[in-house]
Structure formats: structure tokens, C-alpha cells
Structure 1
């Protein structure tokens, strides 16, 4: 009886010792943090090229027309792209009536000049005879009546000469007018330049519209649109490379910056003068690459790391020492070629999430991953 009880006690004791000696199993699983790519702000040199889209046009345009309306255009002597000199004939208008009038006036002038010569001869003859009469009347060889009659003939001859001279002057004025009309039938270049538009067509009639448009002095430029931020980076005389649709490249310089931007699209027109070269048609689209002055940035980040709520309000997501995501407001400066200058809000030791648009919320626990060479 005693033996059985002892065995039972020993068995229970063994079970108790066995239970106490067995290790407990931990069922808690370790937390796995999401890894994100990060970058650190670092110094950078912003040596960038600003690219603007624009159109080639003349710096100064001259519209060339004619005051003569309804005349037929007989000949066109200038084409788009031609360099013309001041006074050069661009087109010839119909001038048959003017030419006929000129021939008629020329014939009238010849007749009037012949009449003047005849009247001058008569005057000379009358004056010579009057001189003789003066001597004769002194000795009473002729009567006073005869002398006065000869004097009247001289006066009449003088009047006839004056009338003939007046007639010639009138005809000469008509000839001058005809020459002017004839000259008007020629469309003349008012200055040196390049023809950038031709509206004159042989056989058509003239009206009050321009027949040609010239680029004065052949000076062409690009009018490119830029926003306020882009305009702020520019200054006159900056060098530019202008790419044309045919693959050609022209050099130029920034000539004029806009004093204001348009209210409808917030854009202004930057004018880039082109150096002389092969003719570029007005209206040709052009891509202008303007080399900007270098900017030294003490800290910079990739553009992808910065979130913008407005052109001036920006922020980044930073991972702190506790591996917690924190949003920080930053002040930005120059933005060029995918980089942003950080003026304030960060230090060089901060770990910034590389993709600002990543699905990360403030307070998330993250594992920062700084790849080699990704501090910029």
C-alpha cells in the first residue's frame, strides 16, 4: 500500500519536473519595415540651359504697297528670301495711260518750244526796228504815231513770248506729273532688307493691301514664350543656340526681356536676335537653347524628392533616427535639369525619400536605403 503511494508521488513529481524543465515557445512574429530609397542634400553647381519654344520673325517689318488702286500688276521682280536694296524695283504696274499722256505732253512741249522761238524772233525783230525809230524820231524823219505803233508791236511780242514761256512751264509741270505717275507704277523698296512675304501676283489688281513685306536690314529674331520663373533666370546678351525644323542651327543672343507677362496665360515674349546667315522664313518654329549663368548651391535635391503644393510652397518626406517618416517644409531656389536648390529646411545629414509621390504617410515606419552615389 505504501509502495504504490510512493510510486504515485514519484510519478507526479516527475511530471511536475518535466513540465517545469520544458522551454516556452514564443509565438510573436518580428515586424518587417518597408524599404525606401533615400537621398541626402548635397552641394551642386547648376550650369543649365533653358529651352524655350518660339517663332522666327523680323525685328522690324516694312509693308510695301502702292497708292495707285485698281492697276494691273504686270511683273513681279522679287521673291521671298531675296535681299533687296533701297530703290530697287519690286514690281511693275500697268502704266499705258500714263505713258500715252507722257508722249502727248512731250509732243506738246516740242510744239510750245518751237512757238517760243518764233515769238522770240518776232520780239527781237520788233525791238531792232524800234531802235531805228528812236533815231529817226529825233530828226523828225517819222511821226510820233509811227513810233508809238512800233512800240506797241514790241509790247505785243513781249507778251507773246511770256505766254509761250508760261505754256512751256505748264507742259513741263504736266510732264513732271506724268513721270511721277510713271514712277508710282513701279513698286520700290524703301530700304535695304530681305523679302519675308510676297502678296503681289502678276495679273492681279492693286488695292490698299501690302504687296510685299520686308525685314529691314535683313535682321531676324526669335520670339519665344517664357513664364515668370524662366524670365527671372534670363538677362540680355546671354548666348543662344536656335534649332530649326530642317536641322539647321543658328546662333544668337537674348536681345529683350518682357516687362510683364500676359494676364491670360502668364507668359511673356523673350526676343532673341539671330546672327546674319542663310535666310530663315518668317513664321518658322524654333527651339531656343539659352545657356544660363552657373549657380552654386550649398544643398540640392533631385526634383523627384520635392513635393509642391504651389510654385512657392514645397516639402519633403524625411526619415528620422527612429525610422519614422516626417514631412518637412523647405524653401527652394533655382530649379534646373531635374535638380532643386534647397535654400532652407534641411541639413546635409537628412535622409530624404527620393520619390515624393511614394505612398508614404507621416508617421510610417520605414527602412531607409541609401544606394551608392544617390546622395544627389
Structure 2
């Protein structure tokens, strides 16, 4: 190839100053930077935590546990029923009756045994009794005369003026007169007794509950009940209980009765347990004796808490017992400090806690609280809480 003199041929660049070479260096530098960042991130993420101190283990959650043991817990039965007089005495007409002239008592009054509650007109009966009293006097006069004749006959028979047969007749006459005196006397006393029964009287001391008669009313033995009296003012609650509860109940069991709407309770005790059970309701009646109190009104409604006995059961605070769709349960810490779920049956609930009827024997370590944050099989660090005496 011919070149003109004085003109140089173009020279090819092959060093780093070449444009292609510079691009390759830029790409290589970027790749190295990315790799460095990736290595740094990997090293930071893969760094292992400090090893636990010598003799240590995994970090465990501390939980408070208690060994409940077994304590005497009262078995309390809850029941409802009606308040009534313990011994209610219906009072009616004992005699033949008549027109009521006076009524002497009102409901809520106390009466004594034999006290007159109401009087019945006795004008006719009084005249009848007077007539019978007069017949008694006539019979006594006849007896006096017959006795005198007999005495004279006895004085004459020894002289032969009167035969023995005549003496016997006079003796019989005297005896008949004496009998008529007794008959007349009995009739008179019967009339007096009938007149006394015209007064309507209280059969025993007690509290008048109701009055069903007014002055001017005609009454008889068929008039039914005129007064209701609670003997001695004693009341009772007739508590309805299931046959299962009746089986564990005994006479003398203490009870607390609260009338509906009242702000206080009344102490009593079971004095009678029904010997039969209603076949339709499967319930029987426990009669709880109560002392008189103006707030206890027969016919009212009340509730009762009956202590039917006691038994030794594990007792837990409410925080230890949980409930879900499967029932009541607690969490128990086993020998390996792992949590396990234990189904239980709740007994009586009181201010002292919840008695566990089934599921615990009292020697387990039961989680007291925070059970909702535990899972079965989880290992924990149990901290035992001392039980109060």
C-alpha cells in the first residue's frame, strides 16, 4: 500500500483506553460489589447466637402451681319451694251451727287454746237447756219422795204392818226415781255441751292466718273451714328436690331459707323428708322447719341452701379451673415438668373455692393461673405456691 509522504496511517488502540475494555471493567466491578454485599448479608444472617452458659438449658416459662391436697367441703343443695304453716289447723263449726253473732279475731292475731273466735246465736238452745235443767229438779223431787216412802216402809215392816212385797215395790220406785235423775242430768249436761260447741274456738295456740266468716252469716257443720291457724306460729319451706338429692339428705340437716324479695335469710333445719317421689316430676319434698317471723308469709315462694353433709375433696381457686366445649379442666404439671390437660368434674362452689369431685386426687401440681397461654406437652418451670391453712 502506498502512502503519501508526510501523512501517517491511523494507529489502532489496544490498551485500557479502548472503549470496549472500559465497559468490561465496569461490569466486572459491579459483579464484585454485588458478591461482596451478598457475602456480608450471608455472614450476618448465619451468625450463631451466643451459647448458653455452662450447665444451663432451654429458656422455660415460669408458672405458679399448687398441690391442693384434700379438704373437707360441705355439700350444699339448692332448692325452691313454697312457704306454709308447719302445722295448719282448719277451724270450722263443731256443733249444729246457726247465725254468727260476733267474730272476735282478725288474720295476723295470736290466739290461745280454747279462745273464742266467733259466737253463734243460742237463744233456742238456751231455752232447751233450761227446760232440761227443770226436768232434773223434777226427777230429784221424785227421788226424794220415793226415798222417804221407802224409809217409812222399812220402819213398819218389822211391826208387820207392811209386807215384804210392798217394801220391794217401794225400793224399786226409789231406784227408778234415782235413774230418772241421772237421765235428766245427762240430758241437761248434753244440752250445755251443745251450747258450748256453738262458740267457734281455737283448738290450740297459734297465729290466725285467714278468716272466712262474718257476723250475720249462717253456718253449720257443712260450712267448711272458717279460720286457718298456724299452730305455734311455726312455718316451713316445702323444698322440691330430685330423688338423687333426697337420697343423700337426712333429718336435722341445717338450711338457710330466703323468701323472694327479702334481703335476709332465715335459719332452719329439715324436719321431714318425703317418703314418696312424684312419678311425673321425679321430685320429692323436704320440709324445712322455720321459727315465726312476720316476713315469712304462707303461700309465698322462697329458695333454700341445704347442707346435706361434707366430704374431703381437692379445693382450687377459680383461676385454676377453665371450661370449653369439652367441659371443665385444669392444667397439671407432670414429673417431667410438662403440661398436661386434666378433665375434672366440679363439685360445690363456695367462697373458699371450687371443690373438684372427680379428676384429681389432691397430689397433683395444678397450674393456678395463665392456663389459657399454655399448651399440652409444653415444658415449663413450675413455681410452687404454699397453701393457706
Interval of TM-score (by shorter of Structure 1 and Structure 2):
0.5 to 0.7
For 1:113, the equivalent position in structure 2 comes to 140
Deviates further, 41-50 or 83-92 = 41-50
Deviation at 1:98, TM superposition (A): 1.9
Structure 2 stretches lacking a partner, 5+ long: 1-12, 43-62
Q: Deviations over 1:33-52 (max 9, x none)?
A: xxxxx996763865797664
**Structure 1 segment 279-358 matched on structure 2, within 5 A:** 280-289=296-305, 297-298=313-314, 300=316, 302=318, 305-307=322-324, 314-316=327-329, 328-336=342-350, 339-341=354-356, 343-344=358-359, 347-350=364-367
**Structure 1 segment 186-205 matched on structure 2, within 5 A:** 186-204=199-217, 205=219
1:14 to 3, 20, 29: 29
For 2:192, the equivalent position in structure 1 comes to 179
SS at match of 2:365: coil
Deviation at 1:105, TM superposition (A): 1.3
- Matching of residue 252 in structure 1 with residue 268 in structure 2: yes
8 Å contact 1:39–1:354 — kept in the other structure?
A: no
- CA distance, structure 2, for counterparts of residue 308 and residue 15 of structure 1: 63
The normalised TM-score by structure 1 is: 0.64
- CA distance, structure 2, for counterparts of residue 250 and residue 350 of structure 1: 39
2:183 to 159, 164, 170: 170
8 Å contact 2:234–2:290 — kept in the other structure?
A: yes
SS at match of 2:214: coil
For 1:43, the equivalent position in structure 2 comes to 68
**Structure 1 segment 23-62 matched on structure 2, within 5 A:** 23=38, 43=68, 52-62=79-89
8 Å contact 1:317–1:353 — kept in the other structure?
A: no
Q: Cα 1:354–1:155, aligned 2, differ >3 Å: closer, same or farther?
A: same
SS at match of 1:209: coil
Q: Cα 1:255–1:161, aligned 2, differ >3 Å: closer, same or farther?
A: closer
For 2:228, the equivalent position in structure 1 comes to 213
Q: Deviations over 1:56-87 (max 9, x none)?
A: 33333333333435533333344444444443
- Matching of residue 96 in structure 1 with residue 123 in structure 2: yes
Q: How many residues align?
A: 333
Q: Cα 1:100–1:354, aligned 2, differ >3 Å: closer, same or farther?
A: farther
Q: Cα 1:181–1:229, aligned 2, differ >3 Å: closer, same or farther?
A: closer
Alignment RMSD (CA, Å) = 5.0
Deviation at 1:181, TM superposition (A): 1.4
The normalised TM-score by structure 2 is: 0.62
SS at match of 1:10: helix
- CA distance, structure 2, for counterparts of residue 79 and residue 282 of structure 1: 16
